[in-house]
Chains A and B, each alone.
Chain A
């Protein structure tokens, strides 16, 4: 019977696991270097969504003319935006702290490392905590740009870009994953001239190509320059005047200039300084190795979230934390990554769950694809949002294997598809569930109906 658990890291993996365990009469001690909430709350999901929301609002206000809303010149006070952003973050941190207090979870400030697999020491204070089980949830750090001049001045990562106090006149974003694209749109809307450079041949390289093409097109139309299939050669120049040299797809060498560079080429698990060998915990390729129960190579030591690699998403870390907690409590549970939603909060939003069309074809051979354009949705017309819904099923039973959405608020809609995938629904259950009208949620029903052979509101 586990009575005491130590959790290293208070991000979206560690802190929910602490709250779950504490409710089951486990004494939980959490060690956090900085503030509770981790990257998600302090340097990721939440602050970027505040900034994106401001840009969406700005766009909305500016487009009020079609409803007869007349505005004078609309401006955005960047420092007020930052203040508001930090206030939201602060209040959410307070929320976690009060939950911790209520559940009697002790928080040690400092950097934890293993003395043994059952004893964790805090570097700064020298205090040590013993436990029956340990959860490692140390998260990740932005990956550095691995090219010549990649760590020079004027090159920011996603943490540093949030500390900018003024909007730079221009910015080159390296990497067109979700982090790069979200920042590209934020700064574009704030007034920067933004160029995005991606090595792969599409933005969002891991996503369905139809989705990627739609978003790329929308961002281009807004005025963001996007270059794909580029091979980076070198970054040079001084702060305020940076130069990126790259080879185009055709092999032509091009140089581009901007006031600053944002490196958004992914994240790297934070495993340094943990003394993993001291606890018998193995890491491979810089990631901690875990079983599907989230247990490391050392019995009783679990690892969750970005530190084990994989999706590196807050909600996945939370789910992994739940799995680890359940196993610690003696309820055997394994992680299932079949239905992990992936969201990008740009305008238009992108949300997907499950397999892309190509992955589905490779997996199932014969598949069915049902789609529905947002132009055909009444509610989407009102909101003035373009995009589409696409549902992919295998052929035999029409089991839903992937759902891809582009359009306003689709990050909310993807939850329905996620439940569907998790329950192993077929297109039938979505198609013949009554969806409220007029809502955007109807697009899922319509896409499913088209798999069932009914194209009601589309050609």
Chain B
């Protein structure tokens, strides 16, 4: 399966805030460009796995025609935080809003 580098940009989403207040479970998702979807060999709504040195997560990929190639937009959440790293000797702040990952299509082997 092809792997491609993506930069995940996180943001605050009011609907996610409301879902959290109502304790509604929601599948984390990322919005990416059509060309990145094609390169990953997945369709709108399929799952994608993001990995980096901090960890890995599986999220739903959604097509966003306005998204730049090479980037992914994702509401900030405990899921995106699994990919965030912090090393006070290299940066003042954790990279909460700009996370470099390797992306690949996710196939659930348990079926």
Q: Do A and B come from one complex?
A: no
